Amino acid sequence: MDKKSPHILNASSNLLGFSLIIITSLKISKISQNTYLDEFAAFACILFACSCFFSFLAIRTKEEKREYSFETIADYLFLFALFCIVLAVIILTLKII
């Protein structure tokens, strides 16, 4: 079985930082009141943080069944967070154009 947990942890932590930059830039530019962009980015932050947590648990656990469970949870959380980021980028693009 190919272990995906280190890749999920790396990508989730990077995209968590990206999501936090989106939220910070929205608060600075005061755009967050007019759109749902910050809500999508905040929800993505929570999902990316949980994905990081579960992928870390999958890396650290010694029991193979539990490792697979944690990795699967991290994988799905990452997928949902990625979907939220895509929605945020679409909203931002439509707002700019």
pLDDT tens sequence across 18-46: 889 888 887 888 776 767 788 888 899 99
> Between the CA of residue 12 and those of 30, 35, 58, 61, 62, what are the distances in Å?
27, 24, 14, 19, 22
Band of the pLDDT at 68, cuts 50, 70, 90?
A: very high
**Roughly what angle, to the nearest 10 degrees, separates helices 5-29 and 37-60?**
160
% of the chain beyond a pLDDT of 70: 94
Using pLDDT thresholds of 50, 70 and 90, give the confidence band for residue 97: low
CA–CA distance from 70 to each of 7, 11, 14, 57, 61 (Å)?
Answer: 14, 16, 19, 7, 9
Q: Are 54 and 70 in contact (CB under 8 A)?
A: yes
Q: Is the pTM of this model over 0.85?
A: yes
Residue 1 clears pLDDT 80, i.e. is over it: no
